[in-house]
Structure 1
Amino acid sequence: MKRPHLPAHTFLALSMAACAALAVPVAAVAAHPATAVAAAAAAPDHSAFDKLLKKHVNSKGQVNYKGFKADEKEFNQYLALLSKNAPAASWNKQEQMAYWINAYNAYTIRLILDHYPVQSIKDIGSKIKIPFVTTPWAAKFFSIGGKKMSLDEIEHGNLRKNYNDPRIHFALVCASVSCPSLRNEAYTAAKLDSQLDDQGRDFVNNPTKNKISKSSAQLSKYFDWYKSDWNENGQSVVKWVNKYSTTKLDANAKIDFLDYNWNLNEQ
């Protein structure tokens, strides 16, 4: 049945009557109509995750999963905070990106803990891996804002789709030896730009992930898999590498890609 339309003066009169019945000053409602909404929409504090990362991730980005298991209560409380506080349009870009990056990394750790001990994230789930269908990253094993989600949705449906910043590939960690090192601090809106650049320098100059000389390079598969991202806006793989590498590649340098090590990034 169609909802009846109330004239403006009738709606105002009913609102004033309701406020009076509830002992709520009409002036207060008029002056602060969005206070409760704004408070509910505030970006969550990532300090609980920051504390766990500092405790259980070493300077090389290797993870003490047994330690996370021991602190599972605190970890699950942080995941519950993420689950109940989905990004809102009122958040700025840095708040949204920091949220999604932390969520990706935290839920990846949760996925490993759910199947621990495991030698590789690729051992989780169906033995037949169909991209975006049966891989661990396609599994909808957590909820955000009441919606069941997967790691793929965070990476491809949110971060890559909405923010146009290839540096996310230096920050998202797939629990494997060849992926970027897990940062032993949480991402925050205030430090996000410097954190992403620092991750870029760490990843590109790590000789176990990229081997770079002036005339040639053996690069991480990330630079192959996400080539379309690196080539956007007049950029290129070589330009991105040279932005962070201490050894600069020639424009016509020979590029090959290293095999990917999917073993668990465990201490």
Structure 2
Amino acid sequence: MELKGRVVVYSILGCPHCMRAKNTLLDLGVPYTDISLDTYPQCREEVKRLTGGRQTVPQIFFNAKHIGGNDDLQTLVKDTSQWEASLMELRNTSPGSDGPQIPDPSTAVKDSDAGEFTCEPDEYAKLVQDLKTSGLIKDHSKIFSNYKRSFVGREFVDWVVKTKGLDRSVAIEMGQALIDKHFGHDVKSDETFQDAPDKYYRLLEDDESTALNAGETSQCEPKPADELGEEIRKLILKIYTAFLSPDGKKVNYQGIGKSAEFEKYKQLTRQLHRVRISESNREEKLSFFINIYNALVIHANIVHGPATNLWQRYKFFNTIRYIIGGESYSLQDIENGVLRANRKGVGMFTRPFSQSDPRFKIALEKHEPLIHFALVCGAKSCPPIKTYSSKGIYEQLKVAAESFLDGDDGCQIDMKKRQVRLSKILKWYQEDFGRNKEEVLQWIVAHLPSESERKSQLTELLQGTKYRVDYMEYDWGVNS
């Protein structure tokens, strides 16, 4: 199709709504210029200015005319007369200076290739390798206990003194460093190394673990969670971009499982064993654990297949896990333990972490309601898949909430019946949004886009006293 005018789509990588919009334009033969806000982050302010403050993507322009997001584009396409009129204007009118301007390619953010990661060797990795060939690691049987693949504290100190020529005090410090660096741990979870004949320790890689990243521990110097998380995010983003369906609704799990990127990802998850998560702030924990949760769901679907009934879903969320910072985290642990500040989840009788649990120190001090629009459990009714970075995490989460709540999967309103139908996410986790249905609706109003029709409708309903709140059936069908 020949156009004098210009169609501009502002998007981000891996955004399902963006992919649907661009796919629609492709199907209709309409050429467009895609401006990625990942590549040209300076354009975000221009988007806000041109759209009256909108922060969601995509944002679509026909010359200077703001069409809106994907839903607006689909509405326009269905209106044959309006669509033909818009195309006629594009055919005959050149873009002016009052519309979106194409950024200079020289201003693009130069991003390192995802998957090409740096690794600074850990000085203790060599000690671990020597320990593995020392003969100290073996099964130890006691009257009431059997410690498989373990070594004795006293014997470790003796071995270091003899083979390394160091004082006992230094050898004890080295034993403690193995624990602190998450190479190993006390078999009874004590965090202190002792030069004693009745204290047993085990390397993390020798634990009998079902974690999907279990096995030989990375020999890289442990990285801060935000740094490692950003490397993982970039690789996940490449995977999402390549293996989401054209309409952004489904994940090609089989394709991911056979990809070179997924092999790199599995190798990278070994660095999670010793990642420095305890020093992270709230924003870093949010982005890190949201991305890891979503990636773990995909990893599990590839390795084990999807859960197809209630019992399998229970098992899926409670047994699928990664080793992170020396501790084991299931999907439930990440969502309810860390991100919901140690709150009981659906079907849980106790909080995920006791106060003596090392993971309790990692949990957020206050729950974050916005995570529910970012965590993707692998079901059709889940929010779209995205990745998140610690810089600007709250803005990213608010955009995700706006997109979900302003769509039919999140909220439906029938003004004639004065009925509101909500995603069951808002029922299962009601305490995160409010004490009752009215407070939940008020929370939704506060988190809908300012120009949203749903916002106006909910505001009107809340001004009265007669309205009904129901919940939509949750489609647990796998998004494959």
Query: What aligned pairs does 1:1-267 form with structure 2 within 5 A after superposition?
Result: 40-41=223-224, 43=226, 44=228, 45=230, 46-58=233-245, 60-71=248-259, 72-89=262-279, 91-116=280-305, 118=306, 121-123=307-309, 128=311, 134-161=314-341, 162=364, 163-183=366-386, 186-214=387-415, 215-231=418-434, 236-242=439-445, 243-244=447-448, 246=452, 247-248=454-455, 249=458, 250-251=461-462, 252=465, 253-266=467-480
Distance 1:148-1:55 versus aligned 2 partners, 3 A rule: same
TM-superposition CA deviations, 1:133-161 (whole Å, max 9, x none): x5310105321122222100000110001
Where structure 1 has 5 or more consecutive residues not aligned to the other structure, the ranges are 1-17, 19-37
| d(CA) in 1 for partners of 2:308, 2:326 | 27
Report the 3-state secondary structure (helix = DSSP H, G, I; strand = E; otherwise coil) of the residue aligned with 2:340. helix
Match of 1:33 in 2: none
In structure 1, C-alpha distance between the alignment counterparts of 2:475 and 2:276, rounded to whole Å: 33
- 1:77 Cα offset (Å): 2.7
The two structures, once aligned, show a CA RMSD in angstroms of: 2.5
| Structure 1, 211-220 or 53-62: larger mean CA deviation | 53-62
Q: Could you say which residue in structure 2 is the equivalent of 1:22? A: none
Distance 1:166 1:198 in 2: 13
Aligned residue identity for 1:64? N
Whether contact under 8 Å (1:142, 1:149) holds in the other structure is yes
TM-aligned CA distance change 1:101 to 1:86, over 3 Å: farther
Deviation at 1:241, TM superposition (A): 1.8
Q: Do the aligned partners of residues 83 and 61 (structure 1) sit closer, same or farther apart at CA in structure 2, a change above 3 Å counting? A: farther
User: d(CA) in 1 for partners of 2:335 and 2:297?
Assistant: 12
Q: 2: distance between equivalents of 1:241 and 1:202? A: 12
Task: Report the structure, 1 or 2, having the larger strand content.
Answer: 2
CA displacement at 1:69 relative to structure 2: 0.7
Unaligned runs of 5+ in 2: 1-169, 171-220, 342-363
Distance 2:243 2:431 in 1: 34
Q: Tell me: CA distance 1:191–1:115, structure 2 relative to 1, closer, same or farther (3 Å).
A: same
What is the distance in 1 between the residues matched to 2:407 and 2:389? 24
Residues 220, 67 of structure 1: alpha-carbon distance in 2 compared, 3 angstrom cutoff? same
CA distance in 1, matches of 2:266, 2:409: 32
Compared with structure 1, are the counterparts of its residues 140 and 178 closer, same or farther at alpha carbon in structure 2 (3 Å cutoff)?
closer
Structure with the greater alpha carbon radius of gyration: 2
Q: Secondary structure at the match of 2:407?
A: coil
Task: Supply the distance in 1 between the matched residues of 2:414 and 2:405 (Cα, whole angstroms).
Answer: 12
More helix by share: 1
Aligned mates of 1:136, 1:39 — CA distance in 2:
29
Identity of aligned residues (%): 26
Higher relative contact order (CA 8 A, sep 6+): 1
Whole-angstrom CA distance in 1 between matches of 2:301 and 2:225: 29
Instruction: Give how far 1:177 is off.
Output: 0.5
For 1:237 and 1:60, how far apart are their aligned partners in 2? 28
